[in-house]
Amino acid sequence: MQFIIENLLPISIALMSSAMLVWSMFGNRVRGIKDVDANAALQLINHKDAFVLDVREPEEYKAGHLLNAHLIPLGKLKERIGELEKYKDKPIVVVCRSSNRSGSACVNLSKQGFTQAYNLTGGMMAWQKANLPVQK
C-alpha cells in the first residue's frame, strides 16, 4: 500500500495510457462505427458499388481524393444530409485525412438511419500508403 501511495502519479499515468490505448483499439466499435481498411474499402467500391463520401475541407479534397468521391465537409454534413438520402441502405465509404472526422461522420450517419456507413481506417493517408488511385 505504501508503494501505491508513493507512486500515485506514475501509476495514474500508466492507467490513463492503458485506457487510451484500449479506447483507440475498441472505441469505434463501442460507438457503432464499422471500420474498413483500404483494401476492404476498395472491395466495397468495386463490388458493392459503395458511395464514397469525403468529409475533408475543399482544399484537402482538391489536393487528391478517391475516384468519384463526393465532397461534403464534416461541418456541412448535417445541413446537407438530404443529398445522401438515396444511399440510406447502400454502402457508404466515408473518408477524411486520418479517419477521425470520418468516424464522427459515420456516427452522424448512423443516427440518421444510414445502415451501411464504413469508416476508412487511416483515411487518405492509408489509401495513399496502399498505392491506390487518387484523383486530382
Catalytic annotation on 106? no
Structure confidence at residue 95 (pLDDT)? 98
- Closest to 53 measured CA to CA, from 39, 74, 36: 74
CA gap 65, 67 in Å, rounded: 6
Mean pLDDT by 10 residues, the chain (136 residues): 83 80 56 87 97 98 97 98 96 96 94 95 97 95
For the record, the C-alpha cell of 91 comes out as 454502402
CA gap 41, 44 in Å, rounded: 5
Residue pointed to by grid coordinates 502519479: 9
Structure confidence at residue 15 (pLDDT)? 82
32: left (phi over 0), alpha (psi -120 to 50) or beta: left
Instruction: Spot the catalytic one: 45, 96, 117, 120.
Output: 96
CA gap 83, 37 in Å, rounded: 26
Structure confidence at residue 5 (pLDDT)? 81
Task: Give the number of C-alpha atoms closer than 13 A to the C-alpha of residue 85, restricted to the C-beta side.
Answer: 4
Give me the sheet containing 51-54, strands edge to edge: 34-36, 117-120, 92-95, 51-54, 70-71
The whole-model pTM stands at 0.80
